[in-house]
Structure 1
Amino acid sequence: MTGTDLGGRTALVTGSSRGIGRALADGMLAAGARVVLNGRDTAVLEETRASLAATHGEGRVLARDFDVTDEAAVTLAVDELEERVGPIDVLVNNAGVQHRVPLLELDLADWERVLATNLTSAFVVGRAVARHMVPRGGGRIVNIASVQADLARPTIAPYTAAKGGLRNLTRAMCAEWASAGLQVNALAPGYIHTEMTQALVDDPAFDGWVRGRTPAARWGRVEDLVGPAVFLASDAAAFVNGQVLFVDGGMTAVV
């Protein structure tokens, strides 16, 4: 297998019922992988599975509902998938939430919830999967970061802290697991038009700021992330490790 062909590989994509996660799952299916979807809402997860299976084939799309912040549930799910489905060759840590409140008004519980979902879950799921990958001598982990790994805006402090932490968690995973044959990298999307950002797209002031701040002069589309994610999951990235690939229309390249 060469290039970006993912044929014969199994990918687990967390938070893949909708939005970016669904698009990445779809893209990996199109590249030949078998994909395990993940989410907490069983009904929505099944709808997504059925929809993708109708396009890519019933046997290539599976679903496993579990809470990525629950260590016991994660361990159980990963161990079951390894036993019943087969080795997880690719992990995409995509699950995430946003919470927009000024720092002076931010409750500790909301700070902890955002960090648990956007950062700690990548450690918990990544560790559970790596415990199988390391003895096998190979695997790919792609953490979904953000331009907020390098930039900050008012009202999203916990998200910014989490994504900055995820950037360095990616490096830490590389430092510990690269010698065992794992490639661990991060994808950092810019402002992407999804269900989660629809209210911002609909806000003329914010929409104008995004278009003006981005050299490409547009919002990103979920499809813009598929090629870079497949690249990082594939043999084409065999000597790429510990890196953060920004897919942001040039936002972080300019002042």
Structure 2
Amino acid sequence: MTDYAKLFRLDGKHALVIGAGSGIGRESALALSAHGAQVTCADRDLAAAESTASTRDLTIAGELGAPDISAYQLDILDDDAIIRAAAELDPVDVLVFTAATNVRKRILDYTNDEFDRVVSLNLRASFQLIRAFGKQMAERGSGSIIGFSSIRGTTVEPGQSVYAATKAGLVQLLRTAAAELGPSGVRANAIAPGVVETPLTAQIKANPAWYDAYAQKGALSRWAQPSELAGAVVYLASDASSFVTGSVLAVDGGWTAVDGRFDPPN
């Protein structure tokens, strides 16, 4: 009989969170740890990763047998660094990657260097992470890969071309991973956030009209906090989603469900 009280527990699992130094990655790492996982907080900024690792509730961290949470410096634009991490770290049961960048420009204004920068981090690095850690998971016969797409993977606006293309591409990359690695017991899913207050969206928050327009687009009429994405990560990492793979979980406050910004009269 299934013990539903433990459905979301991650005891005995090792989760690697890429981009754990801030925003959604930081909250994901803390949530996974709170549910019993051993967590490695990986980030290009080691000090930021260490800050996340040291934030965990001291009463939890001090308990006998509490899972370990540690920091690891990792630049995912460096292929060799990814390969080295896969060899150095304890076997990874849950891979979460949140790191992304965006250059908000119209297509005709984009430079080749800007295109390469966005694609390299948002898509190519994801490809390398899936290959390095997915291979190990497949060899062990289990694992969960969780990547962060976006509402921009399905809905676009002017100035979001390359970012949107990478987020749509990531969905298809994860679906293919689900198809190829599924027979080996590995699941792969995407989370598609709406507007979330993170360092990546600081430019929008600084413009009140832009910020308010985005807030009103969703059904909940507000922005999300990074912590509101953590539940989706725990779900996809845990046995609660044991039959979920190749899926896109929208955590967007109803953004992609609501048609337009005008509320017509009855």
Normalised to the residue count of structure 2, the TM-score between the two structures is 0.90
From 206, 211, 217, the equivalent of 2:215 is 211
For residues 41-60 of structure 1, the aligned pairs below 5 Å read 41-52=45-56, 54=58, 56-57=60-61, 60=68
Structure 1 pair 29/142, CA: closer, same or farther in 2 (3 Å)?
A: same
Counterpart of 2:9 in structure 1 is 5
Counterpart of 2:160 in structure 1 is 156
> Percent same amino acid at aligned positions?
36
Contact 1:29 1:56 in 2 (8 A): no
Counterpart of 2:70 in structure 1 is 62
Unaligned runs of at least 5 residues, structure 1:
none
> SS in structure 1 opposite 2:155?
coil
Unaligned runs of at least 5 residues, structure 2:
260-266
> SS in structure 2 opposite 1:187?
strand
Contact 1:95 1:118 in 2 (8 A): yes
> SS in structure 2 opposite 1:36?
strand
Matched, 1:32 2:36: yes
Normalised to the residue count of structure 1, the TM-score between the two structures is 0.94
Matched, 1:98 2:83: no
Counterpart of 2:129 in structure 1 is 125
Q: How far 1:54 moved relative to its partner?
A: 4.2
Structure 1 pair 53/113, CA: closer, same or farther in 2 (3 Å)?
A: farther
Q: How large is the Cα RMSD of the aligned pairs?
A: 1.5
Deviations 1:163-201 (A, max 9, x none): 000010111001100010011111100000123223312
> SS in structure 1 opposite 2:125?
helix
For residues 54 and 117 of structure 1, the distance between their equivalents in structure 2, rounded to whole angstroms, comes to 34
Q: How far 1:56 moved relative to its partner?
A: 4.4
Contact 2:30 2:52 in 1 (8 A): no
Q: How far 1:53 moved relative to its partner?
A: 7.1
**Bigger radius of gyration, 1 or 2?**
2
Q: How far 1:129 moved relative to its partner?
A: 0.5
Matched, 1:239 2:249: no
Q: How many residues align?
A: 251
For residues 52-201 of structure 1, the aligned pairs below 5 Å read 52=56, 54=58, 56-57=60-61, 60-81=68-89, 86-201=90-205
